[in-house]
Structure formats: structure tokens, C-alpha cells
Structure 1
Amino acid sequence: MTTAAQTTGPRIEVLDPGRWEEWYGALERAFGGPPEAPEERALWRGLTECDRSLVALDGDVVAGGASAFSFRLSVPGGMVVPAAGVTMVAVTPTYRRRGVLTSLMRRQLDDVRERGESLAVLTASEPAIYGRFGYGVATRKLRIEAETRRVAPVGPQGTDDVRLRLADPREALGACEAVYAALVPRRPGMLARRPGWEELPLLDPERDREGFGERVCVLAERDGRVSGYARYATRLDHSPGGQDGTARVEVVDALDAASYAALWRYLFALDLVSALTCRDRPVDDPLLHLVPDIRRLRLRVVDSLHLRLVDLGAALSARAYAAPVDVVLEVADAFCPWNAGRWRLTGDAKGAVCERTSDAAELSLPTGALAAAYLGGPSLASLAGAGRVVEERPGALAAASLAFGSDVEPWLPHGF
């Protein structure tokens, strides 16, 4: 016998702040694994925007949830635009395969549109899920492993003039955040950190260290000013040959090439360390050009930021283009049908306009493919090679692909 609850499904409501603990606990159970450390849980409690958080309720039982952060995302051209940072999306195991996730995504994207945000972004625990909701993989990240005794970075002129010093991570936070903020407009895909988010890089619960020590901060200075920083931790292991430690690099940011090279040279020369790992670097990381033998780096590329065009016209108008572009796009978008149809995009490095048109299509593509190309990462030409973009007018693909490109690969430097 089918109950009314099973027929109608859980109802979607805005989260009551008083139910945060219950809601967050249900999401933790849905993801599995041990509970978060108290300091980590407290940070996410403080960052949660309850008016942007949704709970799926079956009676009084939490069946799932989703939330969003009010972010600002860098796009090609150096602009920083509003974006919904989709997060904490989960469905309780006993409610899966019953449309709960689809209901949450439907309500959330409608809410994002009502707020006037043209973009939604997320990082996915299961990448295959979000394509059906119109998300595309817009940035990738590079994972690096290296044997530090067999490779050492070299630096450009001025590297030896960079002063390095160890600093307390919290005391150095203001200087590090200033460097990070200066880098945001230089690379698409970076998040301008709002108040409270500066605490995220300092989060270092012992439970998550995997045998590594406390995080260390090293500052790079030029002419008496902080020009870069790195955060890392080490784990000392023993082998028959002696100490065989590993350095886990969390972040390396710098304002100039010499400071960047000096920081990496320091990390590759740490005492008692023979291996270095880094889980999140841009695909075009300059480190690849600082090492004399790239084969000594074991590299792996994985997905990072998934992006959704919520208001297609506004999103395409919000960025600049690497070359002049005038193209008619026919976009398929079943989940957000207000985006579907033909759009004329005209623009260049100074800005763009994207408006509805009845002109003949020159390129046809699903919204997920357009989202993937939005930040200048995967090219429209490469997506066409996979059959995800169709050229309706000869020559339109090459011109549009060039225009959508970026001089640097887009990159999301941290999760959320």
C-alpha cells in the first residue's frame, strides 16, 4: 500500500536555524565517515547561510538537504561576478532514488534565479550526478607527487633575492589574504573570499592530519613586503636508508615569478624529506616549467569546479572575450527552460552583450557544454570533437572557440 508521503514525496522548506544541528547531522550521515572535528563543524555552522539552505522533510524526518553560499567568482577579463556556491547537497540513504535530489535542485536553481545570480558552482563528490542538472566541468586541478631528491626547481633572475621566513599561520593571515586577493582577478575560477572565509585555510584538525604535523607557513618577501606564501605540513617516516619524510603542500601563492620559484625551491629542499605531494594546483602551474625534468613529477588531472549557467544571457554578458566574437548560439536546456533557444553573443576584450535572437543558429550545444567552456578551460573546439558542440555555419566554431579562451587555465584554489 502506498502512503501519502510516498506519493507526494518529502516537502522542501527553507532551513530553520534552530534545526541546523539536526540538518547537518543528517548530511554527515548521508556522506558517511566519522563526524567532523568540533572546530570544523563550528566553522561550517558560522558560514552556513540558513536563508539559502533547504531541507527535505518527510513529516518531521530530514530526508535530505542542500545549501548555497553567496560567492563572487572571477571570470575571463578580470571581473568578479556573483555566483551561488552550491554545497551540502545530500539525500538520506533511505530516501534515495525517489526524486528528492531533483526536487532540491529544482527549488535551489529557482531561488538562485530569483536572487539575480547568473551562475551556480559546486564541487562534486560524485561528478556524474550534476550533468543532468545542466552543470559542466569548468575547471580542473592538478595533483602532483615528486621525489624531491631527484628534482629541484630552478628560478628566474631575482629568485636568490627573495627573503623567506617562517611565520605563525594566524599572525601571517592578513598578509597572506592580501596576496590571495590580488591574485583573484588574474585567473578565472577563483573565489573572492568574504568575511569568515579567511578562517578556512587555517582549519587544521588533528583528526585529518593523517600522521602529518601542524601546518607551517612560510612567507616570501621582496623589498620589505610580503610577495608570496606557502602552507605545508611534514610527516617523518623511517626507511632502511634513514629518514624518508613527506611534505604535503596545501597552498603556494605569489605575486611574481621570483617569489613563486623561491617558495617551491624551499619546499623541494626541506630537510629529512624525500617526497612531496600537492593535491590542488592549476593545470598550467608554472612549477611545470621550473623543474628541469618534468618526468620526475607524477601528475594527475581531475575535475574541480562544476558550473551552471542560471541566467545565460547575463552570464555570457558578464565576461570578456579573448578575441572579437559575433555568434548565434542555439542552446538546449531542459532543466532551466528559460535559457533554451537562440542567443546572439557579441563582444571582445572590453565586454559583451548576449541577447535573444531569431537569426539562424551558427553553433548548437547543450547548456552543460557552454557552462564547461564559460571560464576558458575546455575549448568549444575540444567539446565539438566529443560531439557536444555542433557547427551549423562553417568557420563559426574556430572563431568562437578562440574568443571563449583564456590566457591562463581557470582554477578553483579551495573547496567549499
Structure 2
Amino acid sequence: MSSSTSTTHARTTASGTPHAVRPPTWDVRALLPGQWDAFYTAVLDAFHESEPAGATALWRRLAEPERCVAVRDGADLVGTAGIFSFRMSVPGGHLVPTAGVTMVGVRSTHRRRGILSDLMRHQLESLQRQGEPLAVLTASEAPIYERFGYGAAARQLSLDIQSRRISLRTPAEPAGAPPLTLALEDPYEALEITEEIYARQVPTRPGMLARAPGWEHLPLLDPPATRAGARPLECVVARIDGRPVGYARYTVSVAWSAANTAEGTVRVRDVEATDPRAYAALWRFLLDTDLTSRVVAPNRPVDDALLHLVSDVRRCAPTVLDSLYVRVVDAPIALTARSYAAPLDLVLDLEDALAPWNRGRWRLTGDASGAVCARTYDAPDLGLDAGALGSAYLGGTTLTELAAAGRVREHTPGALAAATTAFASPAAPWLPHGFCRSLLPRL
């Protein structure tokens, strides 16, 4: 990557009018050989974190130093930003090249001096040159990245279940159905099985990341120092007629009350299944764990089937939080990469303060089989900014709700309703695991 000082600071809008982009204050440069340790230390310092050796070793294997940039003030490294090369599922089940923005930090002594803005601008322009249509991140603080054109596109459901106070409805078993069995297996020895099940789920839900080699070890990180008294990570595999169809990974900690009553907690790391019977059976297993009265699942999709299996959802204390933020780097490529739930033909008037190449009017024509997006000078049907487009892109945030917040403007009557229907996804977008800051799963 080149330094941001070599970037052209005069852009041209769709109409041909020059548009000035604020020149950078800081020199953003790619890492040189031998600078990774200092870079990684600066990242941990920015987040006031330290990591056990196992996590650090995995981070080293997964990191892409050639996609990391830094800002220095003299000899001091004061700003960092990195990228992971992902493929993300979008509506229609396609896997689209996506930049996973990570390790973004600024030293506390250098905050509010423009370093973050220069890092993000440099990164965005580099991605556009390299042809990556999308960037995603998880935000340590929600308000930070909206000003850089990122929109909250996926949410996560957090559950804290009083397992002794609910029952579970299970799908009816068809007559003559093959037997379903559950077996405890070593998480590492079962890794090939669990990854195959995970890979089958990726195209079914927008926001999921196809795990490249090495990333399958992320859900297995289990340093003793982070267990807070829990046993090591455990895994249960569901099979129907001997064929693996689901799994759950979890930890168990047991505490005893003054009355000598066990009040243990099951902490769910992940549950995946390709069969409804298996999914229900895995949750029944987790909820019925001996010596426990609580099941905590901090990251589930907002449309999780579990909500329709439990007898009393109020005993699950569901909480919805923001999760994945999406930045449309190249609008025509990104809009063409996904499919649409209903036929549409409309002109979008897109505002994008940091990506002038996106700014202007785009005619989007598409349906369930694909789409075409091209420049146009026709009158707009809808107007929106880059952040709103990012929020709506995966189908989890509707254009109608964004319009109610003043983020989308309808110029042609009926266009908003038609676009909302077309942009919808049958499954809510969801990011099963993070990739920013510490790689340790946050339970």
C-alpha cells in the first residue's frame, strides 16, 4: 500500500464537478518487514488489553501484515489499522470478497488529532483501488464508524436463560424417521465435522463469513486464564442415522449456594444444525445439563428458532445489540453481487462524503436471479447516504425504517415499499464470531 500523502485529493463527481477531499494530516504507511511486533503491541495498548499466549499465536497466524498500515509520530507508532481478506455471504447465498477491518486504534495521547480519519480514508481508497466492493467491522464504540460511511447491518441476540423455569417444545418426529443421537466429542477431534456443518450454513444467512484455513481454530480458543472457573471447552455432535447434522460448543461452571444447591452456568459458544430436530435436541441437551440453572448465549441471530421452542421467552431475557457494520466500497459492484427478493427497477441517488466514486445516481435492476447497476442521469426514485445503504445491504434493516428516521428519501411514490420488499432477506443477517480486537471469544 502506498502512503496516503501520495493520494490525489481532488475528486470528480458524477456530474463532472470537481470535489475537494480534505488532504491528510498524517502520513499513513504500510508495515515494513520486522514491524509486526510493534504494531501488535500498539493495538493491544489502544484497547488496554493483554492476551494469553495461545490467542497471540493464533493472531500471528491469521494476520495479514501486508494489509496493515500505521501512523508514526517521530519514532512512536500512534495509529494502526488492518484488514482480513474474507468472503461474506450476501442475500442470494453468494460469497462476496469483503475486507474485514480490524486492529484500528489510536494512542490515547494522540486522540482527536485526525489520525483515525486519515487511517480510514486511506484504507477506503486502497480498497477501491484493489477492487473489494465491501468492508465490514465490529465497533468497540457504536458511534465511531457511521461518520466513515459504515451502517449497522446485522444485530445479535443475547440470551440469559433460566433453564430450570422453562420447557422446550421439540418438532414432531415423522413416522419411520431415522434415529437422532447426541455424542460428546473432543472439540479438536470433531473439528472437521463441525467445520463442514458450519460451511453448509454460510450461504443460508447473510453476514456469515466463509472461514479460510486457520480461522476454524478461532471458536476453539480456550486459554485457562479466561475460563473464570469453567471447565475446558466441550462439544456435542448430533447425528441422524449416523450422519453429522449439528453441533454445540460450550463451557460449564458450577457454583454452590449457601443451601448447598448447585447453581451452575452453561455458556454457549456456538450451535449450528442443518436439521430442525437436531437443533432442538442440541438446545435440550444444553438446557438440561446437570448441576446448572442458567444458560448464557451471548451471540445468536435475532430470528433464532430457539425463541419459538422455549415455553416462556421472558425467562430467556433476550437483548438485541448491534453487531456487524457494513461499508459499501464500490456501489455498483456491491449492488450487483447480491440478489433481490422481488423484481425492482429504480434509480438511487447516493450521497457518499468519503467515496466520491460512489456519489451520484445509479439505476438498479434486479430480481432473485441477479442484478445490474449502472450510472444514469434519470430522475431518482430514492435518495440515501452510504451509511443507510450499508445498513440495508444485507437485508436486516429495512429501507422503510431508515426512511422513518430520515435516512432515506422517497422521490417516486411507491418506490420505497417496492425497494424494501426487494432488499429483504429470508434469514436475518448475523455474524457468528468477531474478528476485531482480541481474537478471544467474548463470553
Alignment partner of 2:94 out of 66, 69, 79: 79
User: Are 2:42 and 1:26 equivalent residues in the alignment?
Assistant: yes
What is the CA-CA distance between 1:11 and the residue it aligns to?
A: 1.9
Which residue number corresponds to residue 56 of structure 1? 71
CA contact (8 A) 1:9 1:58 kept: no
Which residue number corresponds to residue 403 of structure 2? 384
User: Are 2:424 and 1:408 equivalent residues in the alignment?
Assistant: no
Q: One-letter code of the match for 2:44? A: E
Which residue number corresponds to residue 311 of structure 1? 330
How far apart, in 1, do the equivalents of 2:428 and 2:340 lie? 14
- Classify the secondary structure of the residue corresponding to 2:55: helix
How far apart, in 1, do the equivalents of 2:346 and 2:241 lie? 48
What is the CA-CA distance between 1:9 and the residue it aligns to?
A: 4.7
Which stretches in structure 2 are left out of the alignment for 5+ residues?
1-22, 436-443
- Classify the secondary structure of the residue corresponding to 1:106: helix
How far apart, in 1, do the equivalents of 2:188 and 2:204 lie? 25
How far apart, in 2, do the equivalents of 1:255 and 1:128 lie? 36
Which stretches in structure 1 are left out of the alignment for 5+ residues?
1-6
Deviations 1:355-409 (A, max 9, x none): 1110001111111001100000010001111111111111000000000001110
Q: One-letter code of the match for 2:390? A: A
Which residue number corresponds to residue 351 of structure 1? 370
Alignment partner of 1:260 out of 279, 290, 295: 279
CA contact (8 A) 1:10 1:59 kept: no
Alignment partner of 1:37 out of 52, 66, 77: 52
Which residue number corresponds to residue 320 of structure 1? 339
Percent identity reads: 54
Alignment partner of 1:158 out of 135, 160, 173: 173
How far apart, in 1, do the equivalents of 2:300 and 2:55 lie? 23
Q: Which has the larger displacement, 89-98 or 239-248?
A: 239-248
How far apart, in 2, do the equivalents of 1:89 and 1:407 lie? 33
User: Are 2:211 and 1:193 equivalent residues in the alignment?
Assistant: yes
- Following superposition of structure 1 onto structure 2, how do residues 203-282 of structure 1 map, counting pairs within 5 Å? 203-241=221-259, 242-282=261-301
Alignment partner of 1:95 out of 110, 115, 122: 110
How far apart, in 1, do the equivalents of 2:302 and 2:90 lie? 17
CA contact (8 A) 2:93 2:206 kept: yes
CA RMSD, aligned part only? 1.3
How far apart, in 2, do the equivalents of 1:212 and 1:64 lie? 36
Which residue number corresponds to residue 126 of structure 1? 141
Alignment partner of 2:320 out of 301, 305, 309: 301
How far apart, in 2, do the equivalents of 1:366 and 1:110 lie? 18
How far apart, in 2, do the equivalents of 1:192 and 1:402 lie? 27
Aligned residues: 409
How far apart, in 1, do the equivalents of 2:392 and 2:333 lie? 16
CA contact (8 A) 2:25 2:118 kept: no
Which residue number corresponds to residue 168 of structure 1? 186
Q: Structure 2-normalised TM-score?
A: 0.91
Which residue number corresponds to residue 114 of structure 1? 129
User: Are 2:335 and 1:335 equivalent residues in the alignment?
Assistant: no
How far apart, in 2, do the equivalents of 1:41 and 1:15 lie? 19
User: Are 2:377 and 1:362 equivalent residues in the alignment?
Assistant: no
What is the CA-CA distance between 1:8 and the residue it aligns to?
A: 7.9
How far apart, in 2, do the equivalents of 1:404 and 1:355 lie? 18
Alignment partner of 1:183 out of 198, 201, 214: 201
How far apart, in 1, do the equivalents of 2:86 and 2:38 lie? 25
Q: One-letter code of the match for 2:53? A: P
CA contact (8 A) 2:361 2:375 kept: yes
How far apart, in 1, do the equivalents of 2:276 and 2:31 lie? 46
Deviations 1:77-136 (A, max 9, x none): 010010000000000111111110011101111111111110000011011000000000
Q: One-letter code of the match for 1:409? A: A
How far apart, in 2, do the equivalents of 1:67 and 1:322 lie? 34
How far apart, in 1, do the equivalents of 2:67 and 2:281 lie? 42
CA contact (8 A) 1:228 1:260 kept: yes
- Classify the secondary structure of the residue corresponding to 2:235: strand
Alignment partner of 1:15 out of 28, 31, 47: 31
- Classify the secondary structure of the residue corresponding to 2:165: coil
How far apart, in 2, do the equivalents of 1:162 and 1:321 lie? 36
How far apart, in 1, do the equivalents of 2:231 and 2:126 lie? 43
How far apart, in 2, do the equivalents of 1:69 and 1:341 lie? 29
How far apart, in 2, do the equivalents of 1:28 and 1:398 lie? 45
Q: One-letter code of the match for 1:350? A: S
CA contact (8 A) 1:139 1:189 kept: yes
Which residue number corresponds to residue 20 of structure 2? none
How far apart, in 1, do the equivalents of 2:310 and 2:345 lie? 41
What is the CA-CA distance between 1:152 and the residue it aligns to?
A: 2.3
Which residue number corresponds to residue 6 of structure 2? none
How far apart, in 1, do the equivalents of 2:314 and 2:353 lie? 44
Over 3 Å counting, the alpha-carbon distance change for 1:8 and 1:397 in structure 2 is closer
How far apart, in 1, do the equivalents of 2:89 and 2:33 lie? 30
CA contact (8 A) 2:24 2:118 kept: no
Deviations 1:260-315 (A, max 9, x none): 00000100000000001011000000000111221211010000100000000000
How far apart, in 1, do the equivalents of 2:74 and 2:26 lie? 8
- Classify the secondary structure of the residue corresponding to 1:306: strand
- Classify the secondary structure of the residue corresponding to 1:16: coil
How far apart, in 2, do the equivalents of 1:8 and 1:182 lie? 44
How far apart, in 2, do the equivalents of 1:210 and 1:274 lie? 17
Q: One-letter code of the match for 2:41? A: G
What is the CA-CA distance between 1:55 and the residue it aligns to?
A: 1.0
